[in-house]
Amino acid sequence: MIRTIEWNGDAVVMLDQRRLPAEEVYVTCRDYREVAEAIRTMVIRGAPAIGVAAAMGVALGMRQADPSRLDEEFEEVCRTLAATRPTAVNLFWAIERMRRVYQSARGITLGNIQATLLETALKMWEEDIQVNQLIGWNGAELLASGMTVLTHCNAGALATAGYGTALGVVRAAVAAGKKIEVFADETRPFLQGARLTAWELMKDGIPVTIITDNMAGHFLKSGRIGCVIVGADRITANGDVANKIGTYSLAVLARENQVPFYVAAPISTIDLSLASGEEIPIEERPAEEVTHVFGVRIAPEGVAVRNPAFDVTPHRYVTAIITERGVARPPYAESLAQLAG
Ligand code: MRU
């Protein structure tokens, strides 16, 4: 199994996703600030993986906290980790879960608080893999043998503690004996599709073909694609879905061509506190990600750039949302409340 993130006994170790597929190197984060920096700079990325990293970051931070000002340090650790990436709700979900554990552990010895926090973070790592396997199991039923699945970004093992959400559905279908092929959008500007989705599917021997993002319409129209499956960074109460920039265009193209558009995500990605996608904060990333490719400038110096990392797909384009508790169908206001409430 791909080792996206691990606890090595006294530090958090992450596979450096900025350097894949050329190099398979690991980054060791020895304090919570290094964990926050790794999330911000996308050493680790993907909503569920970001959540697990943040939980481990909190546990690491509290192992090194000054015992005389524990509460203040806890808040400082949470604040630093929460300030890294605003869109993926799993980050805040994980921090909140750690906060509840910290608050209920107050009053026991410092050593026990630290042990409980670490135990919780490790449990979240383990649960994430189990949840993804259930998502895969639930989603596999939607795939027929011989189907080609189009995906965007990387919602695979690398985006989670393991197995993946969208790619978990593909893995489960393949494990059930179905013949499945994947088309992967390269996913400008960070190239998660070309670099990460292609790398992890090839490692598993699952047939994968890379296309550039602007080829998706052509292949959806050609009849070559059986369905689209993507992950999510946040799903609001009405079923609107924030995911990697370009997902919205794919959803519209899928609808135009009567191709089912599925979203695979854990319950922890559903944010019932927001009524619609308009309320989701969209991260804007540095211009250099657009103007440069691997350090080489491709756009004129001084040009204006926009780089929103995510877009919101309105729920009307979403055929179904695959979770570990079952498959939600429209109307999402009811089905999601039932699954996640
Ligand atoms: O910017 P990233 O690489 O963190 O964006 C990742 C995505 O958009 C994924 O599709 C999403 O987080 C789901 S991962 C299971």
Give per-residue pLDDT as tens, 10-21: 999 999 999 999
Q: What is the mean pLDDT of residues 204-225?
A: 98
Q: What percent of the chain is modeled with pLDDT above 70?
A: 100
Q: How far is the CA of 103 from the centre of ligand 1 (A)?
A: 30
CA-wise closest residue to 122 among 56, 175, 169: 56
Contacts of 209 (CB under 8 A, 6+ apart): 181, 182, 183, 184
Q: Are residues 119 and 147 in the same domain?
A: no
Q: Give the Cα separation of 201 and 321 in Å (integer).
A: 22
Does ligand 1 come within 6 angstroms of the Cβ of 91?
A: no
Q: Are 160 and 120 in contact (CB under 8 A)?
A: no
On whether both 159 and 297 belong to a single domain, the answer is yes
Nearest CA to ligand 1 atom 8: 244
Residues 113, 161: one domain?
A: no
- Nearest CA residue ID for atom 15, ligand 1: 155
Q: Report the candidate in 121, 155, 133 with the shortest Cα–Cα distance to residue 52.
A: 121
Q: Give the residue from 132, 155, 173 where a domain finishes.
A: 132
Question: What is the crossing angle of helices 70-82 and 32-40, to 10°?
Answer: 10
- With 90 as the cut, is the pLDDT of residue 306 above it? yes
* pLDDT, position 44: 98
- Name the residue range of residue 58's domain: 5-132
Residue 28's identity, in one-letter code, is T
**Same-domain status, 208 and 328:** yes
For residue 1, pLDDT over 90 is answered with no
- How far is the centre of ligand 1, averaged over its atoms, from the C-alpha of 111 (Å)? 35
Indicate if the pLDDT at residue 200 is higher than 90.
yes
Q: What is the Å distance from ligand 1's center to 65 Cα?
A: 31
With a cut of 90, say whether residue 107 has pLDDT above it: no
Sequence-separated (6 or more) residues with CB below 8 Å from residue 76: none
Neighbouring CB atoms inside 10 A of 279's CB total 14
Q: Is the pLDDT of residue 195 over 90?
A: yes
**Hunting for tokens 């919570």 — which residue is that?**
32
Q: Which of 18, 167, 244 to mutate to test the pocket of ligand 1 (most atoms within 8 A of CB)?
A: 244
Which CATH number do you get for residue 256?
A: 3.40.50.10470
Number of H helices, E strands in the chain: 11, 16
> Mean pLDDT across the stretch 67-79?
96
Q: What is the pLDDT of residue 277?
A: 98
* Final residue belonging to a domain, choices 132, 166, 191: 132
Confidence (pLDDT) at 205: 98
Give the DSSP letter of residue 215: G
Measure 174 CA to ligand 1 centroid, in angstroms: 22
The whole-number pLDDT of residue 183 equals 98
Q: Are 97 and 199 contained in the same domain? A: no
* Average pLDDT over every residue of 178-194: 98
Residue to probe by mutation, ligand 1, list 15, 20, 45, 307, most atoms within 8 Å of CB: 45
Distance, C-alpha 90 to centroid of its chain? 8
For residue 31, with 0-12 CB atoms within 10 Å meaning exposed, 13-18 middle and 19 or more buried, which class applies? Answer: middle
Residues 70 and 128 occupy one common structural domain: yes
Q: H or E segment at 252?
A: helix 247-256
Last residue of a domain, one of 111, 132, 153: 132
CA 49 to centroid of ligand 1, rounded, Å = 9
Q: Judge contact between 24 and 15, C-beta under 8 A.
A: yes
Contact 169, 135 (CB under 8 A): yes
Instruction: Note the Cα 74 to chain centre separation in Å.
Output: 25
Q: How many residues does the chain have?
A: 341
Whole-number average pLDDT of the chain: 97
Q: Please check the confidence at residue 106 and state whether its pLDDT lies above 90.
A: no
Same domain, 226 and 159: yes
The count of other CB atoms within 10 Å of the CB of residue 108 is 11
Q: pLDDT band for position 251 (50/70/90)?
A: very high
Q: In CATH, what number is assigned to the domain containing residue 54?
A: 1.20.120.420
Instruction: Give residue 55's pLDDT.
Output: 98
- Ligand 1 close to Cβ of residue 156 (< 6 A): no
**Rounded to the nearest whole angstrom, what is the distance from the C-alpha of residue 254 to the centroid of ligand 1?**
20
Cis before 281? omega within 30: no
In short, whether 47's Cβ falls inside 6 Å of ligand 1 is yes
Task: Give the pLDDT score at 275.
Answer: 98
Point out the catalytic residue in the list 31, 185, 204, 233: 233
Whether residue 233 lies in the annotated active site: yes
| Alpha-carbon gap, residue 161 to 52, rounded angstroms | 7
* Average pLDDT of span 57-67: 97
**Which atom of ligand 1 is found nearest the CA of 50?**
4
pLDDT at 175: 98
Q: Which atom of ligand 1 is nearest to the CA of 166?
A: 15
Cα angle 178-196-155, degrees, rounded to a multiple of 5: 60
User: What number is the average pLDDT over the span 227-241?
Assistant: 98
Q: Do residues 115 and 179 both lie within one domain?
A: no
Contact 181, 149 (CB under 8 A): yes
The single-letter code of the amino acid at 114 is Q
- Is the same domain home to 149 and 55? no
DSSP string, 54-123: HHHHHHHHHHSS-GGGHHHHHHHHHHHHHTS-SS-HHHHHHHHHHHHHHHHHBTB-HHHHHHHHHHHHHH
